[in-house]
Amino acid sequence: MKTRCSCAIFTCQCRSASAPVHFSGGGRESPGNSDFTVRLIGSDDKVTGLADALTSFYRGRRVLVTGHTGFKGSWLVLWLRKMGATTVGVALPPSSPLSMFCSAELTSPGDRFCDVRNLAALRPVFEETKPEIVFHLAAQAIVGIAYRDPPATFEANVMGSAHILECLRSQPSVAAAVMITSDKCYENVEQIWGYREHDRLGGVDPYSASKAGAEIVISSFTRSFFQEEGTANVASARAGNVVGGGDWSEFRLIPDCVRGLRAKAPISLRSPKATRPWQFVLEPLAGYLLLGKRLVEEGKGFQGAWNFGPPVDNTTTVERGAQAVVEAWGEGSIECAPTGPFHESTLLQLDCTKARRYLGWRSVVDFAETMRLTAQWYKHQHTIQGQPMREYSLRQLCAFEQRLNQEVSI
């Protein structure tokens, strides 16, 4: 049975499961360590909804976010500021006036516009702001652009990560750093089951290879410099095909769909039968935030790689994803285009057992709702014609927090 949230944005999933599950952890290793336990909550246990727990933890903390002008980075900054964190953003200027960063009015006087490829420019930012927690999202994130300019992609994604890690080494204020890479870091053999954190890294295309390279750099720095107590606790996070309002990048399905819908032109699909693990933007961000919390509170046992992907039912074709956007928009048409000249994966999904078991994270938004929320954000932006999207974005965020509190407790 489904009921409506009071905010009328999310559909609440009423569950009939008996006792909720409580996740508690400790110890030096993550999966397979007997110090980590999962137990059912008893009537005397104190339980906190995940969103409330995150707010309690991040309120008043100094948090540095690289890539804060990008799609995921801007949603993360909005959430952190809502929770009461003091944020500093480090990124290149936003690429579009329609972006989430611009339309949600996220500009802050303390932000720094610099390139993560420039280590000399990064060092003073860390020294002056003395962050407690770092989320590294700055990257060249587009497969098509990586084919166009492979060297710049490797510089941004591999050396950019190395530069952030090098800054962590010399900044004692940092307790935890979450380094965001991609599900494309895995050597994709088009298998039908999800990739796990210990599976082989690799990449046919430059973008995927750059993300695998970033993971190797993160692992090397972690094992070489961040093993001793008192050093920063470092982990990497790998998400799925993240969608939501405010992404206007090139070579991405949802922005391409919206551009066609706004222009009342057919949506052209290059690989309609390729599958993608569709994931609402706030889902992996909740995972990143929870991972940052665990790293600060429980330390070295939570270092390493973590998958934050959608449930299996959210993995479906590009064609179905486009159709869902058209249906939520209310009009539009789709046509198939010739396959592009570059290699793109046709089947990819993540196994997130580790994050569910040891962090207490799980996905709460299904495929239909993911696409509906995404399309509604863009439709509202189109309807209000250049007016700020901050209030509407906060409404979606508040509704998501309500869902988290209802369905995930820690």
**Is the pLDDT higher at 134 or at 241?**
134
> In this predicted structure, which of 196-210, 275-289, 330-344 has the lowest mean pLDDT?
330-344
145 burial level (CB within 10 Å; 0-12, 13-18, 19+): middle
Overall size of the chain counted in residues: 410
Q: Give the confidence band of 37 by pLDDT, cuts at 50, 70, 90.
A: very low
Considering the domain boundaries, does residue 391 fall inside one? Answer: no
Q: Are 95 and 102 in contact (CB under 8 A)?
A: no
Q: Which residue has the tokens 């003073």?
A: 124
Domain-located, residue 393? no
Q: Does residue 397 belong to any structural domain of this protein?
A: no
- 228: number of Cβ within 10 Å: 7
Average pLDDT over residues 33-58: 65
Confidence at residue 13, expressed as pLDDT on a 0 to 100 scale: 42
Question: If you search the block for the tokens 């929870």, which residue do you land on?
Answer: 290
Q: Residue 323 falls within a domain, yes or no?
A: yes
Query: Would 395 be classed as within a structural domain?
Result: no
CATH assignment of the domain containing 350: 3.40.50.720
Residue 227 and residue 300 in contact, taking contact as beta carbons nearer than 8 Å: yes
- In order of 108, 187, 307, the CA distances from 363 in angstroms are 31, 24, 12
Average pLDDT over residues 19-32: 36
User: What integer pLDDT is reported at residue 342 of this predicted model?
Assistant: 67
Assess if residue 405 is contained within a domain.
Answer: no
Q: What percent of the chain lies above the pLDDT cut of 90?
A: 80
Q: In this predicted model, what pLDDT tens digit does every residue of 146-168 receive, in sequence order?
A: 999 999 999 999 999 999 999 99
Would you say residue 9 has pLDDT above 70?
no
Tokens representing residue 216 in the block: 């190797």
Within a domain: residue 9? yes
Each residue's pLDDT tens digit, 13-23: 433 333 333 33
Rounded to two decimals, what is the model's pTM? 0.89
Model pLDDT, residue 336: 84
Tally of structural domains, the chain = 1
| The token pair that represents 298 in the structure block | 């429980």
Please report whether residue 402 resides in a domain. no
Domain that holds residue 357: 2-385
